[in-house]
């Protein structure tokens, strides 16, 4: 018979995980993907929140395993988190994100979750996972420069005189198609291992699967370019709007795959003895993201789409392309990354291309909030777990 205290602890940890999933859905994965499209008046705030919830759920189930594994098992060397530690870490992180939501500042969820898990893990006597920390912080530092830089250059290219949207946007669609062809999708692989569209199609070339994969990538890229070229030929404004919305959908899907691990990763060690399906856990986390997107995302969509920079459709497209690429890289390598950092950096980069509309004070406060939330999460995690362990004799 299971000890009632154990059941109660697991219940608290599960509720904390759902709270974290709701907070992420409302503040990060739910608000950022369609914020540029909302800023460009391509979709309403409420419709964006509804669609992003569905796409985020799909991304969580299909692509969430890598980041979930990293957050649950790779941030601390030594004994895995206990149920009490997991519940405390998730509650701290979710509370910090929730404060950001209601204050109108997008807190970096990856910073709060990673900091809280590291804090309680060290308080438990675990050792720092330095190699993983270097990997994570390297991506966090590079995101503003890479994402913002690519968005800036793309937006400047789209604004150049003599450059026709009917030709340039299909070329950008080809780049997006090539990325999609090489996205890891769990359902395409055998025995739960992920694979890509290009790899599956390229396997039909027996002499050289690598050459086959390259040919498949080119074929998918040309398909995307051809479809958008046709749309632009019929109605340029409609084609531009549809491309923008498609990019928002891709980013929303990627957000689910990246962010769900922040909510359910700390629970993995607790579920090992019970042979729980990973897909079932991912579905539960995805459901929490969906509810958060539907109930809390509109406020943050407004903040990101209007307060940081006033973007038109072209600069919004420029912001979403690097966001999609960086998100998929993080999913592939299992690195917890904040979608707020990705999308805000890209929006600011695209905004600077126009020489106007970027709120420097808002951006400065946001960066301070990101850094402060990481430091605060580590400190609270370590301090509160130490107090709790002394009080309860853990």
Give which of 123, 104, 134 is closest to 296, Cα–Cα: 104
- CA atoms of 283 and 7, how far apart (whole Å): 21
Judge whether 120 and 85 are in contact, CB under 8 Å: yes
Of 169, 104, 35, 61, residue with least CA distance to 299: 104
- Write 306-309 long-range contacts (CB < 8 A, 24+): 306/39, 307/104, 307/359, 307/362, 308/344, 308/347, 308/348, 308/351, 308/358, 308/359, 308/362, 308/363, 308/366, 309/39, 309/347, 309/348, 309/350, 309/351, 309/357, 309/358, 309/359
Q: What are phi and psi of 309, to 5 degrees?
A: -165, 145
pLDDT value of position 307: 55
Give the C-alpha separation, 184 to 325, whole Å.
12
Token couple for 137: 């912080």
Q: Is residue 250 exposed (0-12), middle (13-18) or buried (19+ Cβ within 10 Å)?
A: buried
Question: Which residues, 6 or more positions from 134, have their beta carbon under 8 angstroms from its beta carbon?
Answer: none
Of the chain, the end-to-end C-alpha distance in Å amounts to 22
Q: Identify whether the C-beta of residue 350 lies closer than 8 Å to the C-beta of residue 86.
A: no
The confidence score (pLDDT) of residue 2 equals 55
Cβ atoms of 169 and 243 within 8 Å: the answer is yes
Phi (first) and psi of residue 163, to 5 degrees: -95, 115
How far are the Cα atoms of 9, 223, 303, 327 from residue 220, in angstroms, in the given order? 49, 5, 35, 20
> At a CB cut-off of 8 Å and minimum separation 6, what does 207 contact?
none
Whole-structure pTM value: 0.85
Which of 257, 244, 373, 256 shows the shortest CA–CA distance to 305?
244
The owner of tokens 């990246």 is: 258
Backbone torsions φ then ψ of 128, nearest 5 degrees: -65, 140
Contact between 261 and 66 under an 8 Å Cβ cutoff? The reply is: yes
Count of other CB atoms within 10 angstroms of residue 9:
17
CA-to-CA dists, residue 138 to 55, 133, 241, angstroms = 28, 8, 34
Both tokens of 303, joined, read: 């903040």
Neighbours of 99 (CB within 10 A): 16
- Phi, psi of 251, rounded to the nearest 5 degrees: -70, -40
Which residue ranges of the chain lie beneath pLDDT 50?
1, 308-309
H or E segment to which residue 46 belongs: helix 45-63
Burial call 282-317: b when 16+ CB within 10 Å, e when fewer: bbbbbbbbbbbbbebbbebbbbbbbbbbbbbbbbbb
Task: Spell out the domain ranges in the chain.
Answer: 4-161+256-312+335-392
148-176 burial: b if 16+ Cβ within 10 Å, else e: bebbbebbbebeeeeeebeebbbebbbbb
């Amino acid at each position: 018979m299971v000890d009632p205290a154990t059941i109660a602890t697991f219940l608290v940890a599960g509720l904390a995980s759902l709270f974290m999933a709701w907070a992420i859905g409302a503040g990060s994965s739910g608000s950022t993907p369609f914020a540029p499209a909302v800023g460009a008046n391509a979709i309403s705030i409420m419709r964006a929140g509804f669609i992003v919830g569905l796409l985020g759920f799909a991304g969580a189930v299909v692509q969430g395993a890598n980041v979930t594994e990293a957050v649950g098992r790779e941030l601390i060397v030594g004994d895995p988190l206990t149920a009490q530690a997991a519940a405390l870490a998730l509650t701290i992180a979710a509370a910090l994100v929730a404060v950001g939501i209601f204050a109108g500042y997008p807190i970096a969820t990856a910073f709060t979750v990673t900091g809280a898990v590291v804090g309680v893990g060290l308080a438990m006597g675990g050792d720092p996972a330095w190699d993983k920390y270097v990997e994570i912080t390297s991506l966090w530092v590079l995101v503003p420069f890479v994402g913002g830089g690519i968005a800036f250059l793309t937006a400047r290219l789209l604004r150049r005189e003599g450059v026709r949207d009917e030709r340039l946007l299909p070329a950008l669609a080809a780049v997006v198609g090539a990325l999609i062809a090489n996205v890891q999708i769990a359902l395409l692989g055998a025995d739960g291992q992920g694979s890509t569209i290009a790899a599956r199609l390229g396997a039909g070339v027996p002499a050289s699967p690598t050459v086959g994969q390259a040919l498949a990538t080119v074929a998918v890229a040309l398909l995307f370019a051809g479809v958008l070229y046709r749309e632009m030929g019929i109605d340029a404004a409609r084609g531009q709007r549809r491309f923008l919305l498609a990019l928002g959908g891709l980013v929303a899907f990627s957000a689910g795959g990246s962010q769900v691990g922040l909510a359910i990763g700390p629970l993995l060690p607790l579920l090992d003895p019970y042979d729980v399906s990973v897909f079932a856990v991912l579905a539960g986390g995805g459901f929490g993201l969906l509810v958060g997107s539907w109930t809390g995302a509109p406020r943050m969509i407004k903040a990101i789409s209007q307060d940081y920079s006033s973007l038109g459709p072209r600069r919004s497209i420029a912001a979403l392309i690097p966001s999609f690429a960086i998100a998929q890289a993080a999913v592939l390598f299992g690195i917890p990354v904040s979608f707020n950092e990705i999308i805000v950096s890209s929006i600011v980069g695209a905004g600077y291309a126009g020489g106007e509309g970027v709120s420097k004070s808002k951006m400065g406060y946001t960066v301070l909030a990101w850094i402060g939330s990481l430091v605060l999460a580590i400190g609270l995690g370590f301090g509160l777990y130490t107090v709790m362990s002394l009080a309860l004799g853990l």
